[in-house]
Amino acid sequence: MSQTIRPAPLRKRVSVKVPQARAFEIFTAGMSRWWLKTHTINPTKSPIREILVEPRAGGRWFERGEDGSECDWGKVIAWEPPARLLLAWQITGQWRFDPNLVTEVEVRFTPDGDGTTVELEHRHLERLGDTAAAMREAFEGGWTSLLESFARMGA
Amino acid sequence: MAHLANALAALADPTRRAIFERLGAGPASVGTLAEKLPVSRPAVSQHLRVLKEAGLVSDEPQGTRRVYQIDPAGLGVLRRWLDQFWDRSLAAFQAEADAKAREKEQAR
């Protein structure tokens, strides 16, 4: 019997002290101000200057480096301010953009008194390209490939 | 990646690899594993404990015994990495939003 490894979705929740529309705006238009800029996926290795989310369905989600070069992270699938944002995360386990990979990051903004509850779900993680495939192969192919896949992920 | 190192260390032992591979074929109890492998039950239990601590297997009670299985969530090294990534990212978002809320209050 082989077993398909299907990681459960990641679910996160935070409460913030700004109203719903403001929380949506800070999350999207203000992403450059809070996004952790330690993880550039830009092949030029330029430090991240901005992280931009184009405010429409079909818009791009991308980083712009200090050198002006741009590198996609994914795209906007649904743009429903102030309540909901659905992004396509198209970054592989090797930290590279892959236009054929689509995992979903859904962010919901719910009013809570004077503040907002923000819930994030990152799902379809089994699609994470080589990594998920390598995991499956590891189970079907024995432990050598498992260790290799672990080593690749750690590299 | 400490958890990755733990997983690798746990699987460096050939008996643990054998147990882990056996669980890849489906959930099993300590007794079942001990029957199929040239290892005593206490030794199997000990190895399972190491695999569990490394996040590679999980267990659940079934009647009077415990059944062990590969932990798909725990095995997802990448998933765990993303888990930490979103924790840190949302904490940064929260700090930014709350700073904006304070600015607005002070401006009043």
User: Looking at residue A118, which CATH number applies to its domain?
Assistant: 3.30.530.20
Token pair for residue A88? 């396509």
One domain, residues A40 and A107? yes
3-state class (DSSP) for residue A117: strand
- pLDDT the model gives residue A139: 46
* Most confident region among A31-35, A78-82, B66-70, B83-87 by mean pLDDT: A78-82
In chain A, residues with a C-beta closer than 8 Å to the C-beta of B84 are none
- pTM as predicted: 0.64
Domain of residue A74 covers: 11-123
* Mutation site, A61, A139, A144, A152, interface B, largest B CB count within 10 A: A139
Residue B9 forms contact with A (CB below 8 Å): no
* CATH code assigned to B2-74: 1.10.10.10
For CA atoms A137, A142, A145, A148, the dihedral sign is: positive
Residues A31-86: tens digit of each pLDDT? 999 988 777 788 888 888 999 999 999 999 999 999 999 999 999 999 999 999 99
pLDDT exceeds cutoff 70 at B12: yes
Where does residue A154 rank: exposed (0-12), middle (13-18), buried (19+ CB within 10 A)? middle
Report ipTM (2 d.p.): 0.77
Residues A82-111: tens digit of each pLDDT? 999 999 999 876 667 888 888 899 999 999
Neighbours of A71 (CB within 10 A): 18
pLDDT band at B77 (very low <50, low <70, confident <90, very high): low
Residue B4 forms contact with A (CB below 8 Å): yes
Residue A17 forms contact with B (CB below 8 Å): yes
**Contact call for residues A32 and A130 (beta carbons, < 8 A):** no
**Rounded-to-integer distance, Cα B57 and Cα B37, Å:** 18
Residues of chain B numbered 52-81 and touching chain A (CB < 8 Å)? 70, 72-73, 75-79
Per DSSP, helices labelled H in chain B are 2-11, 14-24, 30-36, 41-53, 72-75, 77-107
